[in-house]
Homo-oligomer: A and B are copies of this chain.
Amino acid sequence: MSLLNRIDEKDPAIIGQELYRFAGALYPICRSITGDGIRRTLSMIGERIHLEISELPTGTPVFDWTVPKEWNIRDGYIRVPGGNRVVDFQKSNLHVLGYSMPVHATMSLDKLRPHLYTIPEHPDWIPNKTSYYQPQWGFCLSEHQMRALEDREYEVCIDSTLSDGHLTYGECYLPGRTSAEVLISCHACHPSLANDNLSGLTVATALAESLSGCNLRYSYRFLFIPGTIGAIAWLAKNREATQRIRHGLVLTCLGDSSNFHYKKSRQGNAEVDRAASHVLRHYAGSNGILEFSPYGYDERQYCSPGFNLAVGCLMRSLPGVFPEYHTSADDLEFIHPAQLAGSLRICAAIFDVLEHNQRFRNLNPYCEPQLGRRNLFRATGGDSIGLETNARLWALNLSDGEHSLLDIAERSGIRFSVIREAAVLLMENGLLAPLPVTDSHTSVETGGSPAGVRARGGILPD
């Protein structure tokens, strides 16, 4: 049974509610690229899936970068001395510039102003801003709050610490029949922003839950990491291991109401690029396929020229393009249970293509085999054939050892799952034989499986 079928056995409304509830539980945490916020987040994910936590000390060199000091924050505000807070970290963790140095001072509005950030075109929204590598402090507030500030003295306080500590990330590894890997990566460093990227975290967690215990062709590695520095740190610590990565997806912005977008890997025509494009077209009615570009999320690192991994990025709305991006408007109302559930389905459909994409050999390559006497063709001449029969003809015609099921799905314009069902049926009828899955690098069976399983290639027995 395919992963998508397993998911579809459950009520999608229930799946959506579960995902949304988990996003809601993670929402209040003040995350950053280091510190207790991301630790707590990983801990909550670790209650659902087996997560291995790594901690790299401040100062660890990772390629051209260095693990920064750990940042933690307890409070932050601007207030009239002795009066009420006019900007209050307790009300929204976006109010403090991420990685702000500690400060406690009284100063005039004029002195304060260079430390204040707003979005004039959306006067109700608080921007999300950070300064990881340049020591600064600052507050983010709505334009309305800004305009209400009087020209007077204010007490400003950021009760934060920037000190030697660790960079923390979590990994969930699900072993498959081969050591060849599918990488799923999502950034876990944003504070109270829902679409970017609680949506990615919750969908990735649910995917790992769904895959657990499946008989999988590939091994799956889920990374829950701080953006940029986390991906760089992981790659630096796992440089050799990246050779096992066959396919990968960065997951972000998967909860809003937009249709899907898939940004291709740097390779541009990798199997994951073709699988994701096929799935978007055939399962989501979307042609939102974008060419690779070197700006974006952590695909930037996975697709740097030294690695050049086959890692694309799946999104709904495009980060940096939708107005709510990196503002307080990217809240729990901006994401929806049904959209989260739909994203889970699309990821599962992509994995299904990767899991089951293989080549077959037509055992009757000279002319068509007589499908009729095997009850694989409509019986009475003169009617048009249906989609299933058509898929069988395609699978027979192109199973010459050169074409994979995905190739056949693309050339025929028929959904992968229908082609795959046709191939399985033809195999069961002795008309197709699976070709061994060859993997040039490390596709070694992880032991224990009899040779027969290997010969059956990627066909999941369950």
Contact = CB atoms under 8 A, between A and B. Distances in A.
A322 interface: no
A370 B65 contact: yes
A359 interface: no
Given A98-B381, A379-B134, A301 B129 contact: no
Nearest to A373: B133
Given A128-B382, A294-B396, A305 B231 contact: no
Interface string A293-334: 111000011011111100000000000100000100000000
Contacts of A235: 366-367
B390 A295 contact: yes
Nearest to A381: B130
A222 interface: no
Contacts of A326: 382
Interface stretch (A36-44, A202-210, A397-405): A397-405
> Which of A127, A293, A307, A362 has the most B CB atoms < 10 Å from its CB?
A293
Contact of A412 (B128, B231, B293, B389): B293
B304 A397 contact: yes
Contacts of A393: 294-295, 300
A294 B369 contact: no
A97 to B, nearest CB: 8
A380 B305 contact: no
A239 interface: yes
Given A365-B305, A367-B306, A131 B412 contact: no
A412 B291 CA distance: 10
- Consensus secondary structure, chain A interface: loop
Contacts of A128: 382
Contacts of A389: 295
Interface string A237-273: 0010000000000000000000000000010000000
Contact of A394 (B64, B294, B304): B294
A364 interface: yes
A305 B399 contact: yes
B129 A239 contact: no
A63 B367 contact: yes
Contacts of A63: 364, 366-367, 369
A66 to B, nearest CB: 8
A425 to B, nearest CB: 16
Contact of A368 (B304, B366, B367, B368): B304
Contacts of A307: 366-367
Contact of A370 (B133, B239, B385, B396): B133
Contacts of A65: 367, 370
Interface string A122-141: 00000111111110100000
Interface in A274-308: 291, 293-295, 300-301, 303-308
Interface string A99-130: 00000000000000000000000000001111
A396 B305 CA distance: 8
Contact of A306 (B365, B373, B379, B385): B365
B367 A301 contact: yes
A412 B394 CA distance: 36
10 contacts: A131-B380, A231-B367, A236-B366, A293-B412, A301-B367, A303-B397, A304-B365, A304-B366, A305-B365, A305-B399
Interface of A: 62-65, 98, 127-134, 136, 228, 231-232, 235-236, 239, 266, 291, 293-295, 300-301, 303-308, 320, 326, 362, 364-370, 372-373, 379-385, 389-390, 393-394, 396-400, 411-412
